[in-house]
Amino acid sequence: MKSRWAGSLLPVSSVAEWHRIVGEISFHKLLCTTINLQKLIENVISNPIPPYLNGTF
């Protein structure tokens, strides 16, 4: 029973399901990246001249 269940984890019919899962993971990564960028932008706005940019331009 166990081996039969393990074999059913990757049926050909679940390709669409895998695409959905991968899509959700990609969306989650995109969302995290967007949130990180937003935090970065907020930091730049609250500190207009970061120390590492002084004298760069």
Of 26, 6, 28, which Cα lies nearest the Cα of 18? Answer: 26
Q: Give me the chain's average pLDDT, please.
A: 75
Q: What is the tens place of the pLDDT at every residue in 16-37?
A: 888 888 899 899 999 999 999 9
Q: Is the pLDDT of residue 40 over 80?
A: yes
Given pLDDT bands bounded at 50, 70 and 90, which one contains residue 1? Answer: very low
Distance CA 6, CA 10 (A): 8
The pLDDT, as a whole number, for residue 36 is 92
Q: Is the pLDDT of residue 2 over 80?
A: no
Stated length of the chain: 57
